Amino acid sequence: MTSPAPQRVVVLGGGIGGQVAATRLKAKLGADARVILVERSTTFTFAPSLLWLMVGKRQPRTITRDYSGLSRRGVEVVHASVTGIDTAAAEVQTEGGTIGYDYLVVALGAALDLGRIPGLAEHTHHPYDLPSAERLRDALAAFRGGRVTVAIASLPYKCPAAPYETAMLIDGYLRERGLHDASRIDLYTPEPLPLPVAGPHAGYSVAAELAARGITFHPRTQLEAVEPSALRLGGELVPHDLAVVIPPHRPPAVIAASGLAGPNGWIPVDRSTLRTRASNVYAIGDNTAIPLENGMLLPKAGVFAHGEAEVVAANIARRVHGDLREDAFDGHGTCFLETGGGKSGLARGDFYASPLPRVAMHRPRRTWHAAKIGFEQYWLRRWL
Ligand SMILES: Cc1cc2nc3c(=O)[nH]c(=O)nc-3n(C[C@H](O)[C@H](O)[C@H](O)COP(=O)(O)OP(=O)(O)OC[C@H]3O[C@@H](n4cnc5c(N)ncnc54)[C@H](O)[C@@H]3O)c2cc1C
C-alpha cells in the first residue's frame, strides 16, 4: 500500500499572520504536508518597534529579520509577488510561476495608499514602514521646535493605538531634547474618540493621557488636502513645521481581482473559523473585514492576525488528518499603548462580546513598557 501524497498548504504573505500560520502548520503536519509560504520581501520588520525607531530607540537591524528561521523549520519560503488567486482552479499565480494548493491561507495585510491624497508622499511623514520611519526619525532629529501635526488620514488603519502612541512618543522625545516648551502637538482624527472600537472608557482614558501631556486632540476632523507646509483639516488650513500623517490604507490589489473580496474590498470571513466563501480558502489578519456587534470592524492588529493564524492552522491540520472538529477564534486581544517617558498602558478585552466589546484599559506603568519590550524580543526570537 502506498502512503497518500503530501497535501499542499500555501500561505500568502509572510507577515505576523503568515509566519504564525506557516510555523504552526509545518509543526503539526510534518511530512503529511508541504507548507509553502509566498512573500515578496526578503526581510520582515516588526512593525510595533517602528515607533521606537522613529524616536531613535531602535536600529533597523535590531527589529528586522530574514526568513531563514522559517526555512529551518521546514517551511518552503518562496520570495515572489503574488499576482493572482484563482480559487476555481485552486492555484495562485506568482511572479515566479503558478502554485497549486489543497488549502490556502491568505494573509497579505493592508497596503498603504499615499497616492490617494495629492501631496501626502511629498510633504508629510509617517512611521508605518521602515524607510518612512527612518525618514521621520531624521526629520525629528533635525527638528528645533515648532508645531507638530499628527493626523489620521482615513479609516480603517492598522493598529488603532499607533497614531496616539506616535503623538505621545514624539511628546516624550521633545521633552528629552528640551524642545517641549518651544513646541506644540495637535492630533486630528475622523474618529469621535481614540480607539472608538474599544468603547468610551478606553477612548476617554487615552484622551486624558493626551491632555495630560498638553497634546490637543481634534476628533471628527477629516483631512481634505495636503499643502507644502499646511494641512487642510475640517475646512481649515492648519500650518505646521512637521506633519506626521497616518496614510490611507487599502486592500492589496490582488485580492480585489480574486473574487474573494467583499463590497469594501477586504475579505469577508466567518468570524470564528476564518473561512472565506471559497472552498478550503481561509483569510486572516489585516486583509479581512470582520464586523462586530457595535457596527465597527475588528481592528487591524497583529494580536488578532496571530490569534486567527493559530485557529486556522489547528483546523487545517485536523482536516488533513481527517478530523472535522474545529477551534473557534474568540476575538480576544491585548495591546500595549506606549505613552512616552518609558511607560506604556495596556488595553485588553473581548472584541466579540455582545452587545459591545468589553475592553479594560490599564493606566500607563513602567512595567507595561518593560512587558512590551519583552514581547518584542519574544516575537523576534520565536517566529523568525
Ligand atoms: C507602526 C505600527 C505599530 C503597530 N503596533 C502594533 C501593536 O502594538 N500591536 C498590534 O497588535 N499590532 C500593531 N500593529 C499592526 C500590525 O503590525 C498588523 O496588524 C499586523 O502586521 C497584521 O498582520 P498580517 O499578517 O495581517 O499582515 P502583515 O504583517 O502586514 O503581513 C502581510 C505580508 O504580505 C506581504 N505581501 C503583501 N502583498 C503581497 C503580494 N502581492 N505578494 C507577496 N507578498 C505580499 C507583505 O510584504 C507582508 O509581509 C502596528 C502596525 C504599525 C504599522
Cβ atoms of 340 and 168 within 8 Å: the answer is yes
Cβ of 50 less than 6 Å from ligand 1: yes
Q: How many CB atoms lie within 10 A of CB 141?
A: 11
Cell numbers 491632555 label which residue?
211
Distance CA 195, CA 204 (A): 9
Cβ atoms of 283 and 304 within 8 Å: the answer is no
The pair phi, psi for residue 113, each rounded to 5°, is -125, 65
Residue nearest to atom 1 of ligand 1 (CA): 128
DSSP 8-class letter at 35: E
- Cis peptide before 156, with omega less than 30 degrees from 0? yes
Of 49, 52, 74, residue with least CA distance to 63: 49
Cβ of 15 less than 6 Å from ligand 1: yes
Cβ atoms of 63 and 35 within 8 Å: the answer is no
**Whether the model pTM is above 0.85:** yes
Q: What is the DSSP string of 82-100?
A: EEEEETTTTEEEETTEEEE
Burial class (CB in 10 A: 0-12, 13-18, 19+), 49: buried
Q: Which residues, in sequence order, are CB contacts of 343 under 8 Å at separation 6+? A: 364, 365, 366, 368, 369
Cβ atoms of 102 and 241 within 8 Å: the answer is no
Of 384, 320, 326, residue with least CA distance to 34: 320
From 24, 249, 255, 286, give the residue whose CB has the most ligand 1 atoms within 8 Å, as the site to mutate.
286
| pLDDT for position 3 | 62
Cα(129) to ligand 1 centroid in Å equals 10
- How far, in whole angstroms, is CA 25 from its chain's centroid? 22
Q: Which domains does the chain have, with CATH numbers?
A: 7-110+251-329 (3.50.50.60), 114-249 (3.50.50.60)
- 236-239, strands of its sheet edge to edge: 223-227, 230-233, 236-239
- Please give the average pLDDT of every successive group of 10 residues along the chain, which has 384 residues: 78 98 98 97 98 98 96 97 98 97 98 96 98 98 98 97 98 98 98 95 96 98 96 96 98 94 96 98 98 95 98 97 96 97 96 95 96 96 88
Of 109, 139, 115, residue with least CA distance to 127: 139
Cα(113) to ligand 1 centroid in Å equals 14
> Could you tell me where the DSSP H helices lie in 198-343?
200-212, 253-256, 302-320
| pLDDT for position 273 | 98
Cβ of 199 less than 6 Å from ligand 1: no
Distance CA 65, CA 171 (A): 29
Torsion of CA 340, 344, 345, 347, to 10 degrees: 120
| pLDDT for position 2 | 52
